[in-house]
Chain A
Amino acid sequence: MRKCSLDSVNSVFAEIAKAAALYIPADRTDGSAVYTKWEEGVVWSKALNTVRSPKDFFFPQMENLMEFRTSGKNIEIVDTRSEAEDFVVFGVRACDVKSFEILDRVFLTDPVDSYYATKREHGAIISMACTRPSETCFCKTFGIDPAEPAGDISCWKTETELFFQSNTEKGAALLAKLEGVTEECTEEAVDAQKEKINAVMAKLPLADVTTEGFGGGKTKDYFNDPAWDELSEACLGCGTCTFVCPTCQCYDIKDFNTGKGVIRYRCWDSCMYSEFTRMAHGNNRLTQKERFRQRFMHKLVYYPENNDGLFSCVGCGRCLAKCPISMNIVKVMKKIGGENK
């Protein structure tokens, strides 16, 4: 384990930035945090988390997949992928680190999504243990320990110091480059910090939210639950929950006519939208209730059914904070799960 003083954190950032593009959470003009490319003068945000999740680094909202250029009767197919650069994402919370495992199971299983895979290969994650979680946090529900964040390197912050522990080869190589700006240390301060975090976690209002009763094989138990009517009643059908979610991974592939050819791109899609997964006969989910139900059944039943019981929610709390009508997965779990336990 290594450490540096918080006063000298900029020299650590500078050292990382020498090796690769570095992104850290920094405050925007509206007061919320966003991952920002570090350069001298960019200040590490004190916010608990970013509004947009770090999934953007691997699965951006919009990306070109290929291009078709036409001249006369010829069509040229252009691979638009460029040589990827190494990059480092600093300050990723334990919940968001877990989200990468959930995305990996979608994009890295056969057939492997090469666009996503390349970015994963080139990206290194420096995670950050939480010190002041929000009332909207419920990562423990999904077995995530905010005191033990995964990632290539894990970090813990105390009042005065920042501690580093590498977990992977990639992390060890990166930490080795920081030898000049960090010093070897014992784990005592970090252990004390972990205890503090655990004490706080027990006090969180959502500490009792449980996945009990959810998981694979539960489709028939919940699909026709009358509670979906009430839960979805006020849903506006906007895409806020899906777009701020670190695990939502649905996308649409579309062709853009450039006049001289076609750019084929993909962009995030939302199961909350009326045009989601339209088929030849139209939409297979005609009401907002069906779309709403799909989102939560996917996270709590379908995904775990296909992924060894892993739920596709990490309890980051973004949807709790951002839904315009304050409807969210916690309310769904308490209502649907509570009734059927």
Chain B
Amino acid sequence: MQKITREQLIEKAAALLAGGTVTAVLGWSKGEFDYDVTPAVFHTAEELNKDFVWNDFCGANFSKYLVAKAAKEEGKVLVFLKPCDTYSFNQLLTEHRFDREKVYAVGIPCEGMADIAKIKEICGEGISSIDCGEKIAVTTIYEDEPVMIDAKDVLAERCVNCKSKKHVAYDELMGEEGTVIDSARFDEVAKIEAMTPDERFAFWQNELSRCIRCNACRDACPACTCEKCVFDNPNSGVENKAPANSFEEKMFHIIRAFHVAGRCTDCGECSRVCPQNIPLHLLNRKFIKDMNEFYGEYQAGEEVGTRAPLVNYTTGDIEPGEVFDRRDTDA
């Protein structure tokens, strides 16, 4: 259950609209069910009261939407940012992808978001309502009584391994500020590193062979903001709409991971949106883990204007040979 309420957020948004601080609100809009929340732009208190929602299913990271919405709206856009979203926010500012003056950011606390797939593992299909109270109460058309679920049992993977409850950017903060968490997010990477090369190849072969090249990972990724992706450009020579073979499908994801290395904040949107449940975030985490080990701890988006290790030469940098030798000791 979230500590801050829908009503508090609507009150805040309505006040900022009424006072003229902002002219639009980027928020979550209710769906057909209680979990299919859609990002939306609200312009009036009436619209907010009618459709705005804030619950355990508001996982979408709004930072990337600011690239288009801040440019489109005449006035300022109010954006609600969960702690992890603020890292993407800063990273996009570092890359000059939106006008900071056009945005009013309100940091909101987050207790972690629920994964509907995990809920369905417990209660099955046919959900008629979900009530996010102290426990998550799920009613289906097949049972009279709701199933009561502990929110921590159905947390999205990225929330289980939440890296920070602290907001690194905002104009205004609602609720209490949290702290950076010493999470176990690299444990899964370490497990893959511990595999033999053949096992590791088989692992990724199995995962990536499911890819249907819908590009949802890229399109949701706050680090992927190229106006024309090389894979969409017929003149690039590498444009492809379908994975022609298993080599191509792997290359797409590996190249994308390289491309966002040092810029990926580990927000986890790639894995959240993948229709084929490919754990894409693990590729990015591998790069983050390696960079931490090679160049010292670095968190993309922690501050605006920092240079990622890969584009910031220092004389203390690891020699390529050392990286090569390292493969004999571990990964």
The residue from A240, A254, A267, A326 contacting B275, defined by CB atoms under 8 A apart: A240
Residues of B near A43 (CB, < 8 A) are none
Residues of A near B210 (CB, < 8 A) are 28, 30, 34
Residue contact B241 to A267, C-beta cutoff 8 Å = yes
The residue from A32, A234, A254 contacting B277, defined by CB atoms under 8 A apart: A32
Residues of B near A133 (CB, < 8 A) are 125-126
Knowing A205-B33, A267-B242, say if A236 contacts B220 (CB, 8 Å): yes
The distance from the CB of B32 to the nearest CB of chain A, in whole angstroms, is 6
Stretch at the interface among A210-218, A271-279, A290-298: A271-279
**Residue B141 interfacial (CB < 8 Å):** yes
Residue contact A30 to B277, C-beta cutoff 8 Å = yes
Q: What per-residue 1/0 map shows which CB atoms of A258-269 lie under 8 Å from chain B?
A: 000000010111
The residue from B126, B214, B216 contacting A135, defined by CB atoms under 8 A apart: B126
Residue contact A326 to B40, C-beta cutoff 8 Å = no
**Residue A31 interfacial (CB < 8 Å):** yes
In whole angstroms, how far apart are the Cα atoms of A325 and B233 in the complex? 25
**Residue A122 interfacial (CB < 8 Å):** no
In whole angstroms, how far apart are the Cα atoms of A51 and B275 in the complex? 8
**Residue A69 interfacial (CB < 8 Å):** no
Residue contact B244 to A256, C-beta cutoff 8 Å = yes
Residues of A near B219 (CB, < 8 A) are 236-238, 324
Knowing A32-B277, A62-B243, A252-B241, say if A233 contacts B125 (CB, 8 Å): no
Residue contact B38 to A135, C-beta cutoff 8 Å = no
Residue contact A320 to B214, C-beta cutoff 8 Å = no
Give the B interface residue count (CB, 8 A): 48
**Residue A1 interfacial (CB < 8 Å):** no
**Residue B127 interfacial (CB < 8 Å):** yes
**Residue B49 interfacial (CB < 8 Å):** no
Knowing A205-B128, A274-B232, say if A239 contacts B37 (CB, 8 Å): no
Residue contact B31 to A236, C-beta cutoff 8 Å = no
| A74-110, CB < 8 A from B | none
**Residue B215 interfacial (CB < 8 Å):** yes
Residue contact A268 to B128, C-beta cutoff 8 Å = no
In whole angstroms, how far apart are the Cα atoms of A34 and B41 in the complex? 37
Residue contact A325 to B60, C-beta cutoff 8 Å = yes
Closest residue of chain A to B215 (Cβ to Cβ) is: A238
**Residue A181 interfacial (CB < 8 Å):** no
Give the A interface residue count (CB, 8 A): 54
| B33-54, CB < 8 A from A | 33, 36-41
Residue contact A239 to B32, C-beta cutoff 8 Å = no
Residues of B near A273 (CB, < 8 A) are 215, 232, 241
Residues of B near A270 (CB, < 8 A) are 214, 241
In whole angstroms, how far apart are the Cα atoms of A169 and B278 in the complex? 41
Residues of B near A30 (CB, < 8 A) are 207, 210, 276-278
| A281-328, CB < 8 A from B | 320, 322, 324-328
Residue contact B125 to A236, C-beta cutoff 8 Å = no
**Residue B252 interfacial (CB < 8 Å):** no
In whole angstroms, how far apart are the Cα atoms of A326 and B36 in the complex? 5
Tell which of B33, B234, B239 has the most Cβ of chain A within 10 Å.
B33
**Residue A52 interfacial (CB < 8 Å):** yes
Q: What per-residue 1/0 map shows which CB atoms of B216-245 lie under 8 Å from chain A?
A: 101110000000100011100001111110
**Residue A203 interfacial (CB < 8 Å):** yes
Can you give 23 contacting A-B residue pairs, CB < 8 Å? A29-B206, A30-B277, A62-B244, A132-B142, A135-B141, A203-B128, A203-B141, A205-B33, A205-B128, A205-B141, A233-B39, A233-B41, A238-B220, A240-B216, A244-B212, A265-B244, A270-B241, A274-B228, A275-B241, A278-B234, A324-B60, A330-B32, A331-B38
The 7 A-B residue pairs whose C-beta atoms are closest, nearest first, are: A267-B242, A324-B273, A134-B125, A326-B36, A30-B277, A236-B219, A238-B216
Starting from the known contacts A31-B117, A135-B141, 18 additional A-B residue pairs (CB-CB under 8 Å) come to A28-B210, A30-B277, A31-B121, A200-B126, A204-B141, A234-B65, A236-B216, A237-B219, A239-B215, A240-B214, A268-B242, A270-B214, A275-B232, A275-B239, A275-B241, A324-B219, A325-B38, A325-B60
